[in-house]
């Protein structure tokens, strides 16, 4: 009986794999980077793009990142933020989570950089929350989206100078001490430019009793563009 059940399960998995291959042949997917149709992709990228990109973990300060913020990565993230198409963020975040796991990163909680409640209601989702959930799954830990809240409406960071960015976010976040106290935390965002947002989040979490705070983002804006 056990052997028969195992055979049935194996047949089911084989059928599913064949159906997925057939779907890819009939409905080839677009590469999330170049947009070309591709029957086979690696973490959402066509083989050509995947092999041409420098896809590896890098770290600046306390923040891990994978990509430099170029025009194509910009298009991906802007579609996720403002175009209602966060699918690519899910794919890239799974890749980042796997890389962090391979790196041996050990944390207790993953927390996304939060949005102001009204802004979240208008957009319908937080792209950093989507990324955080995927990364948390790869690391085998919980994602606590309510552990950090944005309690003040602020101006868009992209519209401000480096100096004004830090002032814009001062006191804008509140942490739930009951959730973060004595925890090693990974905060997740989509882009790091000056680092003001992540620094403010880290300061808020540490003041609430967090044991340590690191960050992970998809892309880093090159120095000359900040």
Q: Structural domain tally of the chain?
A: 1
Write the burial class of residue 7 (CB in 10 Å: 0-12 exposed, 13-18 middle, 19+ buried).
exposed
Q: How many Cβ atoms from other residues are within 10 Å of residue 34's Cβ?
A: 13
The answer to whether residue 10 scores a pLDDT higher than 80 is no
Nearest CA-CA partner of 193 in 173, 223, 159: 223
Identify which of 215, 224, 172, 174 has the alpha carbon closest to the alpha carbon of residue 195.
215
List b or e across 47-69, with b for residues whose CB sees 16 or more CB atoms inside 10 angstroms.
eebbeebebeeeeeebbbbbbeb
In a domain, 73, yes or no: yes
* CB distance 89 to 167 below 8 Å: no
Candidates 161, 180, 173, 163; CA nearest to 128 is 173
pTM score, whole prediction: 0.80
Residues 175 and 168: their CA atoms lie apart, in Å, by 18
Domain membership flag for residue 21: no
Residue 43 located in a structural domain: no
From 98, 101, 100, select the one nearest 42 (Cα to Cα).
98
Task: Work out the percent of the chain whose per-residue pLDDT is above 70.
Answer: 79
CB 187 within 8 A of CB 201: yes
pLDDT digits (tens, 9 = 90+) for 54-101: 788 999 999 999 999 888 888 888 887 777 778 888 889 999 999 999
Q: What residues make up the domain containing 77?
A: 55-225
Which DSSP letter does residue 159 get? G
Q: 128: domain CATH number?
A: 3.40.50.2020
- 35 within a domain of the structure (yes/no): no
Is the CB of residue 32 less than 8 Å from the CB of residue 91? Answer: yes
For residues 107 and 146, the answer to whether their CB atoms sit within 8 Å is no
Of 114 and 171, the one with more pLDDT = 114
Is 153 among the domain residues? yes
Does 24 score more than 50 pLDDT? Answer: no
For 146-177, write each residue's pLDDT tens digit.
Answer: 999 998 876 565 555 565 665 667 788 999 99
Residues in the chain: 226
CA–CA dist 175, 96 (Å, integer)? 25
Angle 107-89-215 from CA coordinates, rounded to 5°:
30
Q: Is 101 a domain residue?
A: yes
> Is residue 217 a part of any domain in this protein?
yes
Tell me the CA distances in angstroms from 208 to 172, 173, 211, one per residue in order.
14, 11, 9
In a domain, 198, yes or no: yes
Give which of 194, 199, 198 is closest to 220, Cα–Cα. Answer: 194
């Amino acid at each position: 009986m056990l052997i028969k059940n195992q055979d049935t399960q194996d047949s089911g998995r084989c059928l599913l794999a064949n159906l997925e291959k057939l779907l890819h042949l009939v409905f080839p997917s677009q590469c999330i980077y170049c947009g070309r149709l591709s029957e086979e992709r690696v973490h959402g990228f066509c083989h050509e793009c995947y092999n041409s990109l420098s896809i590896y973990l890098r770290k600046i300060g306390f923040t891990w990142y994978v990509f430099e913020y170029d025009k194509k990565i910009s298009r991906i993230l802007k579609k996720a933020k403002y175009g209602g198409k966060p699918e690519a963020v899910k794919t890239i975040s799974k890749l980042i989570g796997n890389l962090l796991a391979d790196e041996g990163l050990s944390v207790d909680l993953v927390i996304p950089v939060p949005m102001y409640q009204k802004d979240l209601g208008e957009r319908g989702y937080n792209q950093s929350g989507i990324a955080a959930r995927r990364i948390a799954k790869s690391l085998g830990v919980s994602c606590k989206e309510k552990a950090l809240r944005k309690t003040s409406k602020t101006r868009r960071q992209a519209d401000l100078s480096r100096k004004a960015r830090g002032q814009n976010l001062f006191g804008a976040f509140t942490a739930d001490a009951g959730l973060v106290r004595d925890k090693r935390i990974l905060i997740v965002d989509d882009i790091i430019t000056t680092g003001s947002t992540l620094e403010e989040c880290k300061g808020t979490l540490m003041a609430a009793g967090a044991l340590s705070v690191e960050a992970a983002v998809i892309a880093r804006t090159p120095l000359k563009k900040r």
